[in-house]
C-alpha cells in the first residue's frame, strides 16, 4: 500500500499514470503464461455428503478382571466402618461426632441460590441420527496418514466431578474445598456449581453420547466427599455415593467406554486442609473403599490431579507436597501389594512448559529450568528418578520445604506406572526483573518463589499463537518440546497427555450454531496431534494416549464462560441439553485415520 501523500508527490492522483502501467502489464504477462482461461456452461457441484458417526461396539468386557471381585476384596476393608447416607436438615439436634447434625454443621457456611432442577438419575435417550451428522469436511489440511498410532492408544476425553456434577448437597455429599466458589455466605459471586451440568444425574446420557459418536476412553473423577462426607479416616461412608460411581463405571462398560478414574481432582473434603499431615491416612481410607469395589473393572487409576500447582491455592504450604506424595505412594503400594490390582496407577501433573524467552541467553535458560523444577521437578525427581526435591526449591529461603529422607525417596520412587500431564500450551520464561536470587530472598515479591517472569509474547513481539479466552493458545510449534522435555528429563516408560484443550475467545457470546462450528478448537487439536505424531515417529517419544479437556462445557472453577467443551450444555434455556460441536467429530475423525488396527 502506498500512502496518499506519496501518491500526490508522484503526481499520480486522479487516474492512470505512466508510473502505474508497467506494473499492470507485468501482471498480465505472467498470468498469460501460467494459465489458460475458458468458458463453459456452469453447473452446481455437490460438495456435502452426509456422513454419520460410528458408535462404539458394546458392551465392553475385559478378558480378565483388573482386581479381585468385591466379595473377596472386601476383607481388606476395616470391619468397623459405618455405612450410611446423611440428609441436610439443619434443625436436627446434636447426635454425636458423625451424626446428622454434625453433617449439617459441615455445611453451616455454604448455601446456594440455584437449586438442582431434578434430583433423580435420568435415563439415557438414544441420540437421534440427525445429531450424528459430520460437519463440512476440513479443507486443504496437511495430514500424514502414514503416521500411525498403536491400536491400544488411549484416546478420549476428560472431565472432573465438581466441574460437571451439580447437586452438591444431595445424596449425602459433604463439602469440598471448592464448594465456597458460588456459595452465598462465602460472598463469592462466581458461578454457582450447584447445577453445573447436572451430570451427577445425567451421566448415563453423557456416556451414551460419547459412545454414539465413538469416543472409546472417558477420564472422570470421583468426588471424595461424596464417599467420605467428613473426609476423615474412620468416619462414616456414604452408601449412595458408593452406588453412584459403581453405576457410572457400569454405564461406561454397558456403552463400550473404558473408564479412567481419578480419585481426587482438586475437590478434597473441606476438613482436610486444616491438617495436611493426616492426608495419607484419610486418602488411603477413601481409596480402599472405592478400589475394593471398582478396581476389577478399571484399567487406569489417577490418584491426584495437578497437585503440583495446588500449593497455597487449594492446600497450604510446600510440605503439603510431601503429604501428597506419601498419600499417592500409600495407595499405589496398597493397590499393587494388598489388593493385587493389575491395572496401572499414575498421578496427573499440570505443566505449561517454560521455554527460555531467548534460548541463547543463559539467564533465560536458568529461569526456564527453575520454573520447570518448581512445577515438575518437585514431583518427577522423587517419583521417576529416585532423587531429592530440586535444589532450586530446597534452597529458596522461607519456602520451608523440608528435604525428603532416603526412606521417603525410596518409598516414592517407582510408584508411577506411566507419566501423565496436562500440557495445554507452552510459555516464555525469563528471570524476575531484580534477578532470581534477589527475588528468591524476598518473600513479598509477587513472583516469589519461582521468581520467573512468564509471557505468551516471544522476543520479537509476536504472540506465540492464537489466544483463547483464558491462557490456552494454538501454538503447536512447542508440542514436541513439551513432550521431549518430560521424556528426556524424567525418562518415563510412556507419557499420557491427560488433558489438553482450547476455549475460543468470547465463545459464550456467540450463537449456539456458531459455538458448534468451533473450527479454532479443531485447529488446536489437529495441530497438537500432528506434532504428537512427529514426537512419536521422529523423536522416539512413547506417547501412550491423549485425553481432551473437555467433553462438555463445564464450570472452570467459577466460570461458565471459559468454554473448553467439545459439546455445549444449554444453561440459557434451562434444558441442559447437550450438543456435539464440530471439534468432537474432527477429533474422532483424526483417530479413526491414525489409530492402527
Region of 65-73, 249-257, 333-341, 359-367 interacting with ligand NAG (CB under 6 A): 359-367
Task: Please give the Cα distance from 123 to 59 (Å, whole number).
Answer: 17
Which range of residues in 21-29, 160-168, 320-328, 570-578 is near ligand NAG by CB under 6 A?
Answer: 570-578
Per-residue HEC secondary structure of 93-120 comes to: CCCCCCCHHHHHHHCCCCCCCCCCCCCC
**Bridge partners, residue 155, by sequence:** 546
Least distance from C-beta 361 to ligand NAG, angstroms? 4
Grid cell 486444616 in the structure block, residue: 274
Neighbours of 59 (CB within 10 A): 13
C-alpha cell at 101: 447434625
Which set of grid coordinates corresponds to residue 58? 458394546
Return the residue of 503, 522, 568, 583 that touches ligand NAG, per CB under 6 A: 568
User: Under the criterion CB under 6 A, does residue 570 sit at the interface with ligand NAG?
Assistant: yes
Of residues 61, 511, 596, 597, which one binds ligand NAG by CB under 6 A?
511
Choose between 24 and 398: whose C-beta lies nearer to ligand NAG.
Answer: 398
**Looking at beta carbons only, is 258 or 430 nearer to ligand NAG?**
430
**393-417 burial by CB neighbour count: b if 16+ within 10 A, else e?**
beebeebebeebeeebbebbbebbb
Which three three-digit cell numbers place residue 185? 455466605
512 binds ligand NAG (CB under 6 A): yes
Window contacting ligand NAG (CB under 6 A); options: 201-209, 286-294, 376-384, 397-405: 397-405
Rounded distance between C-alpha atoms, residue 357 and residue 367, angstroms: 9
The span from the first CA to the last CA of the chain, in angstroms, equals 54
The interface with ligand NAG within residues 428-447 (CB under 6 A) comprises: 430-431
The minimum distance between CB 50 and ligand NAG, in angstroms, equals 22
User: Which member of 344, 515, 530, 532 binds ligand NAG (CB under 6 A)?
Assistant: 515
- Cα–Cα distance measured from residue 19 to residue 12, given in angstroms and rounded to the nearest whole number: 8
Q: Does residue 388 touch ligand NAG according to CB under 6 A?
A: no
By CB under 6 A, tell whether 108 contacts ligand NAG: yes
Q: How far is the CB of 554 from ligand NAG (least distance, A)?
A: 13
1-9, 140-148, 358-366, 480-488 -> range binding ligand NAG (CB under 6 A): 358-366
Residues 6+ apart with CB under 8 A from 188: 180, 181, 182, 558
Q: Which of 111, 164, 114, 161 is nearest to 560 (CA)?
A: 164
Of 43-51, 291-299, 396-404, 582-590, which part binds ligand NAG (CB under 6 A)?
Answer: 396-404
412's grid cell: 516414592
Q: Is residue 202 at the binding interface for ligand NAG, with CB under 6 A as the rule? A: no
Q: Closest approach of Cβ 97 to ligand NAG, in Å?
A: 9
361-380 positions binding ligand NAG, by CB under 6 A:
361, 363-364
**Main-chain dihedrals φ then ψ at residue 495, nearest 5 degrees:** -125, 125
Assess contact for 52 and 213: CB atoms under 8 A: no
| Strands in 368-469 per DSSP E | 419-422, 427-431, 452-455, 466-467
Report the nearest approach of ligand NAG to the CB of residue 217 (Å).
Answer: 26
- Interface with ligand NAG includes 521 (CB under 6 A)? no
Q: Which three cell numbers mark 519?
A: 473450527
| Cell 515479591, residue located | 445
The 10 Å Cβ neighbour count of residue 6 is 10
* Residue whose Cβ sits closest to ligand NAG: 512
Residue 549 · residue 218 · CB < 8 Å = no
Q: Which stretch binds ligand NAG (CB under 6 A): 103-111, 257-265, 280-288, 402-410?
A: 103-111
Encode burial over 192-209: b for 16+ CB neighbours within 10 A, e otherwise.
bbbbbbbbbbbbbbbbbb
Over the window 67 to 96, marking each residue x when it contacts ligand NAG by CB under 6 A and - when it does not, the resulting string is -----------x-x----------------
Nearer to ligand NAG, 109 or 250 (CB): 109
Footprint (CB under 6 A) of ligand NAG, residues 16-75:
none
Nearest residue (CB) to ligand NAG, 71 versus 80: 80
Is 400 a binding residue for ligand NAG by CB under 6 A? The answer is yes
Q: Which of 234, 299, 484, 558 binds ligand NAG (CB under 6 A)?
A: 234
Helices marked H in 135-198: 161-164
Site of grid cell 496398597: 334
- Site residue total, ligand NAG (CB under 6 A): 25
172: left (phi over 0), alpha (psi -120 to 50) or beta: left
Q: How far is the CB of 525 from ligand NAG (least distance, A)?
A: 20
Longest dimension (CA), the chain: 99
Our finding on whether 190 is near ligand NAG (CB under 6 A) is no
Shortest approach of ligand NAG to residue 259 CB, angstroms? Answer: 28
User: 408 near 383, Cβ under 8 Å?
Assistant: no
- Residue 263 C-beta: closest distance to ligand NAG, Å: 22
Site stretch for ligand NAG (CB under 6 A), options 46-54, 122-130, 383-391, 572-580: 572-580
Give the footprint of ligand NAG on this chain (CB under 6 A): 78, 80, 105-106, 108-109, 189, 234, 317, 361, 363-364, 398-400, 430-431, 511-512, 515, 568, 570, 572-573, 579
Amino acid at each position: 500500500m502506498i500512502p496518499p501523500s506519496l501518491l500526490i508527490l508522484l503526481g499520480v492522483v486522479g487516474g492512470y499514470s505512466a508510473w502505474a502501467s508497467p506494473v499492470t502489464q507485468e501482471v498480465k504477462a505472467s498470468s498469460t503464461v501460467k494459465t489458460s482461461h475458458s468458458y463453459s456452461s456452469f453447473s452446481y457441484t455437490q460438495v456435502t455428503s452426509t456422513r454419520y458417526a460410528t458408535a462404539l461396539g458394546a458392551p465392553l468386557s475385559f478378558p480378565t478382571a483388573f482386581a479381585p471381585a468385591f466379595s473377596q476384596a472386601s476383607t481388606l476393608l476395616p470391619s468397623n466402618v459405618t455405612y450410611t447416607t446423611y440428609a441436610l436438615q439443619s434443625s436436627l439436634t446434636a447426635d454425636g461426632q458423625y451424626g446428622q447434625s454434625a453433617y449439617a454443621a459441615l455445611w453451616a457456611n455454604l448455601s446456594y441460590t440455584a437449586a438442582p432442577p431434578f434430583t433423580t438419575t435420568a435415563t439415557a435417550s438414544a441420540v437421534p441420527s440427525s445429531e450424528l451428522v459430520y460437519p463440512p469436511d476440513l479443507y486443504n489440511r496437511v495430514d500424514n496418514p502414514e503416521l500411525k498410532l498403536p491400536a491400544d492408544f488411549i484416546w478420549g476425553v476428560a472431565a472432573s466431578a465438581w466441574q460437571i456434577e451439580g447437586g452438591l448437597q444431595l445424596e449425602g455429599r459433604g463439602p469440598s474445598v471448592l464448594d465456597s466458589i458460588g456459595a452465598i455466605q462465602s460472598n463469592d459471586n462466581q458461578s454457582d456449581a450447584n447445577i453445573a451440568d447436572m451430570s451427577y444425574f445425567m451421566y448415563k446420557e453423557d456416556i451414551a453420547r460419547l459412545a454414539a459418536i465413538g469416543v472409546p476412553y472417558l477420564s472422570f473423577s470421583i468426588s471424595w466427599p461424596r464417599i467420605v462426607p467428613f473426609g476423615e479416616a474412620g468416619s462414616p461412608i456414604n452408601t449412595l455415593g458408593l452406588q453412584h460411581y459403581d453405576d457410572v463405571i457400569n454405564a461406561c462398560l454397558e456403552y463400550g467406554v473404558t473408564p479412567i478414574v481419578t480419585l481426587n481432582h482438586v475437590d478434597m473434603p473441606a476438613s482436610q486442609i486444616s491438617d495436611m499431615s493426616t492426608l495419607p491416612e484419610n486418602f488411603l481410607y477413601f481409596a480402599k473403599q472405592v478400589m475394593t469395589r471398582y478396581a476389577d473393572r478399571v484399567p487406569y487409576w489417577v490418584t491426584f490431579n495437578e497437585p503440583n500447582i495446588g500449593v497455597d491455592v487449594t492446600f497450604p504450604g510446600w510440605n503439603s507436597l510431601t503429604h501428597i506424595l506419601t498419600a499417592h505412594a500409600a495407595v499405589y503400594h496398597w493397590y499393587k501389594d494388598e489388593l493385587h490390582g493389575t491395572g496401572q496407577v499414575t498421578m496427573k501433573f499440570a505443566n505449561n512448559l517454560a521455554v527460555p524467552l531467548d534460548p541463547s541467553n543463559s539467564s533465560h535458560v536458568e529461569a526456564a529450568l527453575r520454573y520447570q523444577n518448581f512445577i515438575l521437578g518437585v514431583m518427577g525427581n522423587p517419583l521417576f528418578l529416585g532423587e531429592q526435591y530440586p535444589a532450586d526449591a530446597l534452597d529458596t529461603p522461607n519456602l520451608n520445604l523440608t528435604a525428603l529422607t532416603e526412606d521417603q525417596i525410596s518409598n516414592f520412587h517407582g510408584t508411577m506406572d506411566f507419566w501423565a500431564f496436562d500440557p495445554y500450551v507452552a510459555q516464555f520464561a525469563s528471570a524476575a526483573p531484580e534477578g532470581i536470587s534477589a527475588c528468591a530472598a524476598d518473600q513479598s515479591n509477587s513472583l516469589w518463589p519461582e521468581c520467573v517472569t512468564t509471557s505468551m509474547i516471544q522476543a520479537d513481539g509476536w504472540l506465540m499463537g492464537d489466544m483463547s479466552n483464558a491462557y490456552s493458545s494454538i501454538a503447536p510449534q512447542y508440542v514436541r518440546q513439551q513432550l521431549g522435555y518430560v521424556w528426556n528429563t524424567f525418562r518415563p516408560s510412556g507419557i499420557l497427555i491427560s488433558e489438553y484443550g482450547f476455549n475460543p475467545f468470547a465463545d459464550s457470546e456467540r450463537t449456539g450454531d456458531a459455538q458448534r462450528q468451533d473450527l479454532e478448537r479443531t485447529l488446536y487439536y489437529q495441530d497438537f496431534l500432528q506434532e504428537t505424531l512427529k514426537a512419536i515417529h521422529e523423536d522416539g517419544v512413547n506417547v501412550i494416549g491423549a485425553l481432551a479437556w473437555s467433553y462438555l462445557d463445564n464450570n472452570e472453577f467459577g466460570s461458565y464462560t471459559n468454554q473448553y467443551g467439545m459439546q455445549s450444555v444449554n444453561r440459557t434455556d434451562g434444558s441442559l441439553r447437550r450438543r456435539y460441536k464440530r471439534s468432537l467429530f474432527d477429533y474422532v475423525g483424526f483417530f479413526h485415520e491414525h489409530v492402527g488396527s
